[in-house]
Amino acid sequence: MKQLLLVFGIIPFFSLAQQNPQLQWGTSGGSADGGQISLTERVAEMDTDAEGNVYLFSPVFRNNIKFGEAAPGDGHDALHTDILFGSLNCNGEHRWSKIIGGTAGDQAKTLRVSKQGKVYLTGMVNRNGYAVDFGNDLQLPAAGFQTLFLSQYETNGTMNWTKMIQSDTVSGWSYSRTAIIDMDLDEQGNVYLFSLFPPGSKLAESNIKIPDGSGENKIYVLQYNTAGVLQQVQQLDINFSGNDQAFIVYGMHFRRHPLTGNYYVNGSLVPPQTGVGNDVLYLGNQLVSSKMYVGCFSQSGQYLWHKQSDLSGVMNNTMTQSPVDIDEDGNLYFFGQGSLGDSFNGFIFENPLGLNFTNVANFIMKMDASGNRLWAKSGYSMPVNFTQTGTVNHNKVAIGGYFATEMHWDNESISSTGQDGWFAILNKNTGTLEKLGRVEGTGFYDGITAMRFYKKDLFLGGYFANELLIGNQTINNLGGSSDFFVAKYGYDCDCPLPTASFTQQTTAQQVAFTNLSDASVLSQEWDFGDGQTGTGIHPVHHYAANGTYTVCLETTNNCGTDTTCKTVTIGPLSATDWNSIFPNIKVYPNPVKDTFYMDNASPGMVISCYTLTGQKIMQHTLSSGQYRWDTSGLASGVYIINLQHTDGSSAQQKLLKL
């Protein structure tokens, strides 16, 4: 059912030819040097901006460095890496690139693009006796052990500023115990550095320092504003073994929830309970006793909850190498792998190819903000497969890595005579597989290590050793152990598909929908989830019965269609008489400024918080009769608290956040 637009009584027909997504192009980069194979040239991280440009970095060695057809300059040492940092447009054309580094070896750590159009890069440069060049933008003189940096660029590659993180008096002992582990941005473009520091460490250009204390190194979140000025330092309630801290820390990933401000930390380790390791990690006072975990912390660093893989699996072969990603509704997407019989958060991995350490199940798990599993899907393979990366957009979620021999997901399969990159794209609402794809190479050393959506296009980054075959292209290696590559799977940049988007405002049984789809849309079709449909731009729909409905908007332009879906709750958002249903359960304070408390509840009850438009921003299953929620990151306004008993009864109460 498509709407035809009427203008002055004339029906304008347009040619609608839905494009089929495909691998459209690929480009490569790197140096002619081999270096050390453990420092292979590969896309380590990437991100996209609002115009469909892609930004990335890769370690590179010294000689004959190329990025596509561009030659950004030579590096500094053939056995140690510099940083190639650059950008391509949607068609894979080189926009700009630069080499960052000095003589002793340097590495970037994270890259993010803000909604305000600023590009942030973090990493470590070795200045102990060596000057360091940031392309032609800046040269830092030799300066001892001050190594960690945060840089901000415009999308055209112009550097705005670079800030060193440590004090210029940092000692060699302290330097060896500090690290930027990960980074995230908030909606306003503020920067959150997930970092390791010894207690009492001094920070550059600030009177703020790491809190004093004793014992082992600690995990902190350093918050900087868009001008690069340090605003605050927050310690997270994380402790670990000092002997194995490097392995534990560098296996960690970090994301900040855009709606609640909570922090998510996930990673892999090998604890003593597995029988083969000695990594000791505590989230709060909870020991992580298995190989794969995700934990949640409040803005004040308080431990809230964690999930970990089940130790009872026969193989206990779980791993995650990518941060969780978070969609516009606040749901989490967790990416990883395990062997037959392993499980995570109640999901048991299956592999019909049999019980073997190398037979892997690769999975995506969708969770709400409190870690409750919404769905989980997996593929399987033999004999080698690793999940390296994952990402989500407004209606799809993707996962990727590398495999050898064969891989299966639902009814699709791919095969390889060597080691190739693989990716899978699923519907984010249902977990239905839409594509299982392969990036084919002629060598044995090829794989996908990074990916990022731009609307419905999926940019892929990775490494290859010999030749890479993308569509009709053959991309040749420049030399050495590997080069990096970027490819795009998706649609024609010159005929972009529409992007479907909407919000809703609920009043009793009536919902007003606001269509936020882009201006190219020619028609729209609504499915309200109750058997009714519509074609209005901003419809108002009346629901006859209470319940939760899945509302979908399909938009169409000259290039094709796009669909997005959200849930709408009718009924629970009216504040029923809490005291008559749960007379002994107390919630306070109300209004709340920082911490919200609930007493006298029962284990197994589920507490949720909704905006007045029906968007769920928090849900938690109680493990005891008391509950505490840090609301300091919640925007001021009125919310609805919903509490559901295990017997099915529920009650609601309005909550005023100051």
- Are 364 and 383 found together in one domain? yes
Q: What's the confidence (pLDDT) of residue 4?
A: 31
Q: Domain boundary residue among 552, 570, 588?
A: 570
- Are 525 and 596 found together in one domain? no
- What domain range includes position 526? 502-570
- Are 330 and 418 found together in one domain? yes
Q: What's the confidence (pLDDT) of residue 575?
A: 47
Nearest to 457 by CA among 1, 54, 145, 12: 54
- Are 597 and 558 found together in one domain? no
Q: What's the confidence (pLDDT) of residue 73?
A: 87
- Token code pair at residue 262: 């909570």
In this structure, is residue 653 part of a structural domain?
A: yes
Inter-residue contact 464 to 475 (CB < 8 Å): yes
Q: Which residues of the chain have pLDDT under 50?
A: 1-17, 39, 573-575
Cα–Cα distances in angstroms (integers) from residue 354 to residues 191, 315, 349, 362, in the given order: 45, 12, 12, 15
Q: What's the confidence (pLDDT) of residue 580?
A: 73
- Are 564 and 582 found together in one domain? no
- Are 419 and 475 found together in one domain? no
Report the C-alpha gap between 94 and 231 in whole angstroms. 36
Report the C-alpha gap between 398 and 389 in whole angstroms. 8
- Are 418 and 435 found together in one domain? yes
Q: What's the confidence (pLDDT) of residue 8?
A: 29
- Are 283 and 185 found together in one domain? yes
In this structure, is residue 192 part of a structural domain?
A: yes
Cα–Cα distances in angstroms (integers) from residue 61 to residues 38, 77, 82, 103, 463, in the given order: 12, 6, 6, 11, 14
Report the C-alpha gap between 455 and 562 in whole angstroms. 10
- Are 319 and 381 found together in one domain? yes
Inter-residue contact 290 to 273 (CB < 8 Å): yes
The residue type at 613: T
Nearest to 270 by CA among 262, 261, 280: 280
In this structure, is residue 296 part of a structural domain?
A: yes
Task: Identify any residues that bridge with 309 across adjacent strands, giving them in sequence order.
Answer: 344
Nearest to 303 by CA among 253, 261, 249, 264: 264
- Are 180 and 292 found together in one domain? yes
Helices (H) and strands (E) in the chain, counts: 3, 51
In this structure, is residue 7 part of a structural domain?
A: no
- Return the CATH number at 551: 2.60.40.10
- Burial of 16-31, coded b for 16+ CB within 10 Å and e otherwise, reads eeeeebebbbbbbbbb
Q: What's the confidence (pLDDT) of residue 13?
A: 33
Q: What is the DSSP track for 139-166?
A: EEPP-TT--EEEEEEETTS-EEEEEE-B
- Are 487 and 377 found together in one domain? no
Tally of domains within the chain: 5
Task: Identify any residues that bridge with 334 across adjacent strands, giving them in sequence order.
Answer: 365
Cα–Cα distances in angstroms (integers) from residue 304 to residues 331, 541, 585, 630, in the given order: 17, 38, 21, 9
Q: What is the DSSP track for 11-34?
A: -------PPPPEEEEEEEEE-S--
